[in-house]
Amino acid sequence: MTYIYGNLPIFAHDINHLKTFRMISSQLYVNGSATQAEICRAFGVSKISVKRSVKLYREKGIAGFFEKPRRRGPAVLTPPVLEKVQECFDSGLSIPETSRKLSLKADTLRKAVRAGKLHLPQKKR
């Protein structure tokens, strides 16, 4: 995608690169080259998405568009808790028994087992 201002090309990027699109459209608005309404009409984006991009540009600059998104870490099943839970499973306790013993929700433990963070011992046949 190439952006033209007047009769001069000012920027170009891959058409599928959303972060670069958000960055350049924010620059166009902040520098006074286009209004938010013009950006919305020209590119078919929502007004709130333009506002969010402009806010990010003003707060963090160009680097803000390309930094890795912040993700929350585990809130309940931290590594020490996972260790304790796995010890309980290895000693033969079931999910409900382990959840009562460690004051955790049974669904939380079931999800961790499904996700592969924990494993239940094989049942003997």
Separation between Cα atoms, residue 65 and residue 3, nearest integer Å? 18
Helix (H) or strand (E) holding 3: strand 2-5
Tell me the sheet residues that pair with 8: 5
Within a 10 A sphere around the Cβ of 28, how many other Cβ atoms? 22
SS3 8: strand
Q: What is the pLDDT of residues 25-53, one digit of tens each?
A: 999 999 999 999 999 999 999 999 999 99
What pLDDT, in 10s, does the model give residues 62-71? 999 999 988 8
Q: In the structure, what pLDDT confidence band is assigned to residue 123 with cuts at 50, 70 and 90?
A: confident
Q: What is the dihedral of CA 82, 84, 89, 93, to 10 degrees?
A: -130
